[in-house]
Structure 1
């Protein structure tokens, strides 16, 4: 139980910094023209059980931007059905990790019930939590245009 609570707190802290900087940016549904030497990362979010609110999606390019302010951010309106998609463009080759949460009540922050997240969240390369993830565990190598799928999780 202690491990679950520690993991939940760490997940909450990873995602908590995501919303405030996201307010000025919105998601686009289609990538623009490719810039030479850069790539796009398409993020497809599935297992969205509650069909309301917004998704706050943060892209990290190192440990500091994974645990703090994101390198790039998007806000996605949750649609009535289907998977949700956003695209990060103009990325140089390297390692990137995605973290996101679903704001169900419109307060633009990750909510908790005690120490456990009470709103759905997701991380790249993480489908089951066995402890607090770090940047390297969540990172994907971007060396071409890529699409990744992230499964929404609930505690």
Structure 2
């Protein structure tokens, strides 16, 4: 009993959050149920498209697929989504380097001759969590 009280006191002194935010991403315009939907979540411009904070893969569902991230700190994030239709674990490209599998960025941000800019893709995740939608292209 004393150990539990001590742990609760220490947790409150350290300022640990009682509940972290959940992020639900609805990926729309999934052309087929083949393969997987892969999502990479980033928490800064410096890491964007280089080193994901978290990543998740779920089986693709034709039409719309949902991906969840649990227990995130409230803050600023951006994500990239790929429909890995052939389930090879990467985004395929044609001979010119153009993506041959559907993809999207948070806020449905578009890139110019490359990925979207972090400034266009970033969004704020409140402490209460959020649900967002993107459409594959």
- TM-score under structure 2 normalisation? 0.78
Cross-structure match for 1:150: 134
Cα deviation digits, residues 128-154 of structure 1 (max 9, x gap): x3625221210111113100001101x
Cα deviation digits, residues 44-86 of structure 1 (max 9, x gap): 000111221111111110013312121001001012x441111
Cross-structure match for 1:86: 67
Q: 1:105 to 1:82 in 2, by over 3 A?
A: closer
- Whether 1:107 aligns to 2:88 is yes
Q: 1:104 to 1:95 in 2, by over 3 A?
A: same
Distance 1:152 1:36 in 2: 35
Q: 1:112 to 1:82 in 2, by over 3 A?
A: closer
Distance 1:109 1:121 in 2: 11
* Partner of residue 22 from structure 2, selected from 40, 46, 54: 40
Higher alpha-carbon Rg = 2
* Partner of residue 104 from structure 2, selected from 122, 138, 141: 122
Task: Identify the structure with the greater strand proportion.
Answer: 2
* Partner of residue 135 from structure 1, selected from 118, 121, 137: 118
**How many aligned residue pairs are there?**
117
Cα deviation digits, residues 81-106 of structure 1 (max 9, x gap): 44111111111121011101111222
Question: Where do 5+ consecutive residues of structure 1 fail to align?
Answer: 1-34
